[in-house]
Structure 1
């Protein structure tokens, strides 16, 4: 469990650094550099698309090489990217720094999840992924405090502090993360890709998760905008993330324990349905109580779906292809999240009355796809246990 503890510490520090830095970066681009909000949006969107869009390749590479090296190099590269932002003055330089940070994240994100699945005992994987979510959101809460302190200083120092956290964490990971249990049979890149793409049920699962990530990304885009516009109070933005973080910290673990009584795919489809109902309620209400009720439903749905989906991926992935599976699974975030940031913002601006209905419909459609997958999986298991006929 030493490796799990180190990975959890990494999760905390990565979220502290990332969420303390990214809001600061947007303010720096539009304020200190006097560039447009559009450029800031392009820089942030490019970072996500490059990171999540290349995660499948990074996962395949992680299965081919050493997990410890991939995580360490990724964290160090992310830190270097943060430091580079301190010296950027033009959009091109900002894009280069953004791509550097994205490649770093692409290297460590799927590999870290795969390492959790390797180091954690199979019976404890769900609890470990739930604990990881708690730790990450504790880091987000702490990032708010640290970000407020860094705002008192020049951006140059903030980039070095946040980048330094990643670099130091990467060095510590390289020195202390055990690698003997990660040594699974190594596969060629072609074998890894052929294995994942031949698993049609898993590919369908990944496609089904795009609706979840479409809804999830509204948490960082249209939900805060709607709260400010409806209630005419910018304090709602910080309140949203404080409430969300507190809900995750205090309810994630008991909720994960409770969900153990159900099949994983059942938990995922229930969570997606609750999210859909929650986003529809909060988006159609002008009443504070109904808004917060919908938001809490939305948060509970996320807590049911996200760690359970990671646990499901870890369970069905062969050990030698674990990072490859997680890398491909993150493609759902790239597609669903990318469309959510683009189409979601456009819909909110031009079709505000149906934006929430479309988001809810996508989420519930994904839940229905998971329901179909559950039936196909059951039939596949029944066929695999049928005696051969002569």
Structure 2
């Protein structure tokens, strides 16, 4: 990955490094939040779940706000404000001891990401298109470097947090804040000021522009079907691991396997897909691979495997979902600039996350009713979700582009 990063222009290297730093700072804190809330602060289990759900809502649900502000004012001020809010949120969380103050800190942390993430993602997509035009390097390859950097941060962040956890959760939060202080300083110095794409226009028509052609909505729904499936790594997979081994201790190893796969294999997979597959085909193929992972678990149910052998279906699922992710995530993000007007790219990247998050909320609620029962029915239904997304993605027309 480092060789590919060195080959990028300076601004793209900044954006890739930003994604790495964002995730290091965030994942240094997040894995230890639930235990802190339940053990140190004595919050009930339902309250812990509620707080974590608020964080997700304030982040994913409001991505569209950050995207719209990026289009309006340009990426630099949105990223800088987001970093300031994340620093304040982590600092607040470090000293929060009451439920109300914890909720406030968590909402601030989530909203900060809703600002800076769409800004950075839309800038990366825009610069990847320019780099492709200038050098012929496929934009999906650049976006794959961006995704791999994020996964590397998700892998390194918990390690940083675990090293500091002996000094207490407060030290972990302050370390996360320190990472964002460094990000803020770097972007204050290095991120160019650029006028918003429609700073002088009235704030209307953006949503209508996104919905004018069906292509963007198709990508959102297909991407949402993947996220519904990916979310099962946190819902259905833990139950399967506990059934097979009697505990969830092996989950950490499975998640580490996923992160290491992305860091080590993402770029070769994307290069191969760039030579062999178009963006639409990569999106469809990735969804099919994800679906195959769930079908593999469904096929193993009658065998009633336990112990180490019982972990094999779960490991197969993690590998399949991760490989599918490597194909479809860069492809979905690379398709967006072709499906929307460049003036609304920030709004589009935010809407991709927000609409997909809504699909996850509805889809996970529906599939969650089957989780307790488990069995072939559960895993077959879960396989059907990404496969339906693949069928939908096939409706994308080759070469479809935004107009107006």
Are the structure 2 counterparts of residues 45 and 165 from structure 1 closer, same or farther at C-alpha, using a change threshold of 3 Å?
same
1:20 aligns with 2:20: no
Q: Deviations over 1:347-382 (max 9, x none)?
A: 3224555322221111111111111x22xx24978x
**Cα offset for 1:156?**
1.5
1:3 aligns with 2:11: yes
CA distance in structure 1 between the aligned counterparts of 2:218 and 2:151, rounded to whole angstroms: 29
1:155 aligns with 2:169: yes
Are the structure 2 counterparts of residues 325 and 365 from structure 1 closer, same or farther at C-alpha, using a change threshold of 3 Å?
same
- Residue 283 of structure 2 corresponds to which residue in structure 1? 268
- Residue 277 of structure 1 corresponds to which residue in structure 2? 292
Secondary structure of 1:367's aligned partner: helix
- Residue 236 of structure 2 corresponds to which residue in structure 1? 222
- Normalised by the length of structure 1, the TM-score is 0.90
- Residue 344 of structure 2 corresponds to which residue in structure 1? 321
- Residue 255 of structure 2 corresponds to which residue in structure 1? 241
Secondary structure of 1:152's aligned partner: helix
**Cα offset for 1:47?**
1.1
Report if the CA contact (8 A) 1:76-1:170 is conserved: yes
CA distance in structure 2 between the aligned counterparts of 1:283 and 1:102, rounded to whole angstroms: 35
Are the structure 2 counterparts of residues 216 and 247 from structure 1 closer, same or farther at C-alpha, using a change threshold of 3 Å?
same
**Cα offset for 1:14?**
1.2
Q: Deviations over 1:263-314 (max 9, x none)?
A: 2111111110110110231355334444423331221111111111111113
- Normalised by the length of structure 2, the TM-score is 0.87
Q: Deviations over 1:181-223 (max 9, x none)?
A: x764534321322211223321232123221110011123321
1:335 aligns with 2:358: yes
Secondary structure of 2:43's aligned partner: coil
CA distance in structure 2 between the aligned counterparts of 1:32 and 1:249, rounded to whole angstroms: 34
- Residue 100 of structure 1 corresponds to which residue in structure 2? 108
Tell me which of 357, 375, 379 is aligned to 2:380. 357
CA distance in structure 2 between the aligned counterparts of 1:344 and 1:17, rounded to whole angstroms: 32
Secondary structure of 1:211's aligned partner: helix
**Cα offset for 1:50?**
2.1
Question: Aligned pair count?
Answer: 378
CA distance in structure 1 between the aligned counterparts of 2:40 and 2:364, rounded to whole angstroms: 25
CA distance in structure 2 between the aligned counterparts of 1:167 and 1:284, rounded to whole angstroms: 49
- Residue 141 of structure 2 corresponds to which residue in structure 1? 127
Tell me which of 25, 42, 51 is aligned to 1:34. 42
Report if the CA contact (8 A) 2:288-2:324 is conserved: yes
CA distance in structure 2 between the aligned counterparts of 1:105 and 1:240, rounded to whole angstroms: 26
Are the structure 2 counterparts of residues 148 and 283 from structure 1 closer, same or farther at C-alpha, using a change threshold of 3 Å?
farther
Report if the CA contact (8 A) 2:215-2:400 is conserved: no
Secondary structure of 1:235's aligned partner: coil
Are the structure 2 counterparts of residues 188 and 168 from structure 1 closer, same or farther at C-alpha, using a change threshold of 3 Å?
farther
Unaligned 5+ runs, structure 2: 1-8
Secondary structure of 2:28's aligned partner: helix
Tell me which of 206, 211, 216 is aligned to 2:225. 211
**Cα offset for 1:324?**
1.1
